[in-house]
Amino acid sequence: MEGGPAAAGRQVRLRPIRRRRATHELRPVPAVPRRVSRRRRRVSGEEADRIFDQIRQQRQRHVIGKLARSMIAVEDFHHYLFNEELNPPLRSQVHQDMTAPLSHYYIYTGHNSYLTGNQLSSDCSDVPIVKALQRGVRVIELDIWPNSAKDNIDVLHGRTLTSPVELIKCLRSIKEYAFSASEYPLVITLEDHLTPDLQAKVAQMVTETFGEMLYYPDSEDHKEFPSPDSLKKRIILSTKPPKEYLEAKDSKGKENGSQNGKDPNEEEAWGKELKDFKFESEFDDKDENDQSDDEDDVADDDLKLRQNSAPEYKRLITIRAGKPKGSLKDALSVDPDKVRRLSLSEPQLEKATESHGLDIVRFTQKNMLRIYPKGTRFNSSNYNPLIGWMHGAQMVAFNMQGYGRSLWLMHGFFRANGGCGYIKKPDFLIKTGPHGEVFNPRATLPVKRTLKVKVYMGDGWRMDFKQTHFDAYSPPDFYTRVGIAGAPDDSVMKKTKTIEDDWTPVWNEEFIFSLRVPELALLRVEVHEYDMSEKDDFGGQTCLPVSELRPGIRCVPLFDRKGNKFKSVKLLMRFEFV
């Protein structure tokens, strides 16, 4: 119901519901504002009746009579306000144009999707792949290597202590769960370390397992990628030009240790505060030309291997990866006659944005750019994805088995467009100006939109947590952090006052955010419990795409550290654009 909880065109003000605190029942619902902005859409009588019927059905009330159909009790209205299904903060349907080329979309992308934990010693399994697919991830990455007998293919993180899982097991699980959360295309990126005979075996496995679900182009080169709409319920492959695994680069060429003396394990159990996104490089000049961990880098001695690779394997590749010989500027060149995918590591991207930011934006208008975590993230932590998104990178690859605030942003970003895993990039990242100019992420931009966020109250912790979880002898002391993750000048965090000794805190505080790039802004919400002597306790979090917020008073469900939704914990918030 847009514009706050008004029913059938009339304003409603709730009287406080006085209840004994010992029963742990609901506190008073905050009074609904008397004035409703003229810019908000008022609901029709039919819409109100439909919502009332839904409320009654969920509350299992049996009201008879014409008069009763236009009325609901205060308890019913409270149920509506705190019901995520009836009063969600976001639209739940796919609503964007899905007929543009794949390069015009951000795609929900996983990194080393088969790992159950850290990058060095965890098990390889199809279980995290299934979990990622059920969450809506649309790009699954598999590292494929010969097994110990050199007669079959395993999936594992090479040159580590990770235990392998058979490729065929991963492929069968992918087939079963590929479209469990979204009908739009699933991309499998292959990090290939196989000999030509095993590449041919992969081609056979893939075609036999996926059958008609597998899509591949008629020719090797095409001028633009197909659209998500044209590839519904299809699986496509993406990989770099094949190379023999024995010729794979020495792992010593990978990033070694932390840079500038920083701890490689940058995120704690629930994530340190996000690193500021200020277009400043933390890397030394000696790294400028270091492409040692570029997954698409093709050495001279690999050219012969490319020619000898299995033809049946090569023809199945829809999104071809590869970096031309030469400088980074050469790698970012745009070929009018064909499209390709380029991969850059997290530090390579940061360095590239300093001198080639406009080239990156121009490249991503037509081609695909994949960003992956730096090699020192041994604990499967992640990085700030906004720098990639601001430059149009479609595949910002994350360790979905990881944790922390960066992953919360990823989860929140892809709640947009009905959670289908594909989000249309803003027009300014797709189109060029009349003189060929492209969007400059470094430019100082004017405020485009202002968002008002009011945090009314929260509830549900007493159902989802033990009575002694936060404090052994008293109710918890909750406060809420509210802010924006987005363009550098948009990013900010603010904080409510702390409500002491209350399981259902009422804050009634409003925050105003001026947004320069609202299309990429995420609303960050975190609830913590103040602890005087120790670190504050975690009480829930969520991230919501600002461009998809439904104006009005909304129920906002919260999630745990791993991104799993709490059963009962919710906030009541109001969103208003001015």
Give a yes or no: residue 491 inside a domain: yes
Give a yes or no: residue 313 inside a domain: yes
In CATH, what number is assigned to the domain containing residue 514?
2.60.40.150
Q: Are residues 564 and 461 in the same domain?
A: yes
pLDDT exceeds 70 at position 478 = yes
pLDDT exceeds 50 at position 573 = yes
Q: Are residues 323 and 208 in the same domain?
A: yes
Q: Are residues 425 and 456 in the same domain?
A: no
Q: Are residues 476 and 352 in the same domain?
A: no
Nearest to 478 by CA among 449, 505, 515: 505
Give a yes or no: residue 524 inside a domain: yes
Lowest mean pLDDT among 252-261, 303-312, 339-348: 252-261
Q: Are residues 231 and 370 in the same domain?
A: yes
Question: What percentage of the chain exceeds 90 in pLDDT?
Answer: 70
Contact partners, residue 340, CB within 8 Å, separation at least 6: 319, 320, 321, 322, 367, 368
Q: Are residues 135 and 186 in the same domain?
A: yes
- 291 pLDDT tier (thresholds 50, 70, 90): very low
Residue-level pLDDT at 559:
98
Structural domain total, the chain: 2
Residue-level pLDDT at 70:
54
Residue-level pLDDT at 420:
98
Residues with catalytic function: 111, 157
Give a yes or no: residue 132 inside a domain: yes
Domain end residue (candidates: 396, 429, 462): 429
- In whole angstroms, give the CA distance from residue 49 to residue 305: 68
Domain end residue (candidates: 383, 400, 429): 429
Residue-level pLDDT at 308:
58
Mean per-residue pLDDT of the chain: 84
pLDDT exceeds 90 at position 318 = yes
Burial of 171 (0-12, 13-18, 19+ CB in 10 A): buried
- 265 pLDDT tier (thresholds 50, 70, 90): very low
The 10 Å CB-count burial string (b at 16+, else e) for 340-350 is: bbbbbbbbbbb
Q: Are residues 486 and 369 in the same domain?
A: no
Q: Are residues 480 and 421 in the same domain?
A: no
Higher-confidence residue: 53 or 455? 455
List pLDDT tens digits, range 86-124.
999 999 999 999 999 999 999 999 999 999 999 999 999
pLDDT exceeds 90 at position 203 = yes
Give a yes or no: residue 392 inside a domain: yes
Structure tokens of 316?
Answer: 């199945």
Contact partners, residue 436, CB within 8 Å, separation at least 6: none
Nearest to 407 by CA among 257, 211, 266: 266
What mean pLDDT is predicted for residues 56-65? 56
Q: Are residues 327 and 368 in the same domain?
A: yes
pLDDT exceeds 70 at position 24 = no
List pLDDT tens digits, range 415-465.
999 999 999 999 999 999 999 999 999 999 999 999 999 999 999 999 999
The model's pTM is 0.84
**Residue 388 belongs to domain spanning:** 102-241+309-429
Higher-confidence residue: 524 or 326? 524
Give a yes or no: residue 38 inside a domain: no
- 267 pLDDT tier (thresholds 50, 70, 90): very low
Contact yes or no for 220/314 (Cβ under 8 A): yes
Residues comprising the chain, all counted: 578
Residue-level pLDDT at 278:
55
Residue-level pLDDT at 221:
74
Q: Tally the C-alpha atoms within 13 A of residue 482's C-alpha that lie toward its C-beta.
A: 24
Give a yes or no: residue 220 inside a domain: yes
Helices (runs of H) and strands (runs of E) counted in the chain: 12, 19
Q: Are residues 136 and 185 in the same domain?
A: yes
Nearest to 111 by CA among 72, 130, 137, 87: 137
Q: Are residues 128 and 235 in the same domain?
A: yes
Which single residue is written with the structure tokens 């059905």? 57
pLDDT exceeds 80 at position 4 = no
pLDDT exceeds 80 at position 314 = yes
- In whole angstroms, give the CA distance from residue 355 to residue 360: 10
In CATH, what number is assigned to the domain containing residue 169?
3.20.20.190
Give a yes or no: residue 405 inside a domain: yes
- In whole angstroms, give the CA distance from residue 425 to residue 367: 13
Q: Are residues 557 and 410 in the same domain?
A: no
Higher-confidence residue: 243 or 475? 475
Kindly provide the residue ranges of all beta strands, DSSP E only, lying in 389-536, ordered along the sequence: 395-396, 422-424, 449-459, 478-485, 492-495, 506-515, 522-529
Domain end residue (candidates: 429, 462, 487): 429
Residue-level pLDDT at 277:
59
